């Protein structure tokens, strides 16, 4: 029996979903920082492979998904999500090799924000999406002068993939119980990443210390965030979830200030405030959305 998503109009469900998204984004920023430090040894695609392989192993051990009893539609949803995961992470890490973290996350979040605009059915949703867009434009930090064409293209590709991930993850959340679908999707994504990751990392895969750090990146960047986002998407409409993703650059900027001593300009502070207000407004407006909102 498939588990029905929680009603969109349940206040406790919305509050829990927002908390899940926030924790997931924090974990992702920490994991991305560790991954960048490992690029010289493992390469971006090597890190993607480690991230997906370890995440798949952890999720398979936790969920122990059954291979039988799933419909063809459910399998298509899981395979689609696995392909999107491999593509999204690959493009994101290739962009990180050329662009600062804050800039990469800022460009990438345009994908979920665009989805929020497309899925919006009320003027208030457009208002909050526009406010979030203004906010993220101020969150690139001092890295906008170091843009490269290939880096921007990779980041835009990751943005488009992230929008696809939201839709695919919502489908998996409907078609599978608990984390079963995510575990199967992650396993498929890991298989897709193997040849590219092995070629990129090479002999570095024999170093135990690098493998251990790769496992830490997997837990922080994939296992925890994707599991939390899957649960959040059972409680939030995709349009609201897309606007919440605009908190990513804000968390990246705040983490840089608190953990790395990076300076926050007045424009960045205003940008953080705008995306927080936009996200809160989107969740508040989402209370009026119907409980059975379709997902394209």
| pTM for the predicted model, two decimal places | 0.74
Domain that holds residue 19: 11-288
Evaluate if residue 287 carries a pLDDT over 60.
Answer: no
Give a yes or no: residue 295 inside a domain: no
Residue 65: name the closest of 135, 57, 73 by CA.
57
**Residue 113 resides in a domain:** yes
Query: Cα separation of 71 and 261, whole Å?
Result: 51
Mean pLDDT of 161-169: 85
> Has residue 5 been placed in a domain?
no
CA dist 2 and 70 (Å) reads 10
State what percent of residues in the chain have pLDDT above 70.
76
Q: Are 124 and 239 in contact (CB under 8 A)?
A: no
The verdict on residue 179 lying in a domain is yes
Assigned domain for 84 exists: yes
- Confidence class of residue 253 from pLDDT cuts 50, 70 and 90? low
Range list of β-strands (E), 26-132: none
pLDDT band for position 2 (50/70/90)? very low
Q: What is the structure's pLDDT at 163?
A: 81
| Residue 258 in domain | yes
pLDDT at residue 295 is higher than 60: no
Weakest-pLDDT range from 223-237, 248-262, 264-278: 248-262
Q: Is 296 inside a domain boundary?
A: no
Q: Does 200 fall in a domain?
A: yes
Residues 142, 264 contacting (CB under 8 angstroms): no
Structurally, how many domains does the chain consist of? 1
């Amino acid at each position: 029996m498939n588990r029905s998503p929680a009603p969109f109009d349940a206040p406790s469900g919305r509050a829990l979903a927002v908390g899940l998204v926030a924790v997931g984004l924090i974990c992702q920023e920490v994991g991305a920082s560790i991954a960048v430090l490992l690029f010289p040894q493992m390469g971006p695609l090597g890190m993607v492979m480690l991230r997906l392989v370890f995440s798949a192993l952890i999720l398979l051990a936790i969920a122990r998904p059954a291979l039988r009893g799933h419909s063809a539609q459910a399998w298509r949803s899981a395979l689609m999500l696995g392909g999107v995961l491999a593509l999204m992470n690959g493009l994101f890490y290739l962009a990180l090799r050329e662009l600062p973290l804050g800039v990469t996350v800022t460009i990438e979040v345009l994908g979920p924000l665009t989805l929020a605009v497309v899925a919006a059915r009320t003027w208030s949703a457009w208002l909050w999406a526009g406010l979030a867009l203004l906010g993220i434009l101020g969150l690139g930090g001092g890295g906008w002068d170091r843009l490269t064409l290939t880096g921007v293209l990779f980041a835009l590709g990751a943005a488009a993939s992230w929008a696809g991930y939201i839709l695919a993850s919502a489908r998996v959340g409907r078609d599978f119980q608990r984390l079963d679908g995510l575990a199967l999707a992650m396993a498929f994504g890991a298989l897709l990443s193997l040849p590219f990751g092995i070629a990129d990392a090479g002999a570095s895969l024999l170093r135990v210390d690098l493998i251990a750090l790769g496992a830490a990146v997997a837990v922080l960047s994939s296992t925890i965030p994707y599991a939390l986002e899957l649960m959040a998407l059972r409680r939030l409409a995709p349009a609201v979830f897309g606007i919440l993703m605009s908190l990513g650059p804000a968390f990246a900027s705040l983490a840089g200030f608190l953990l790395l001593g990076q300076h926050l300009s007045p424009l960045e502070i205003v940008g953080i405030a705008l995306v927080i207000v936009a996200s809160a407004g989107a969740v508040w407006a989402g209370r009026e959305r119907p409980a059975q909102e379709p997902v394209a």
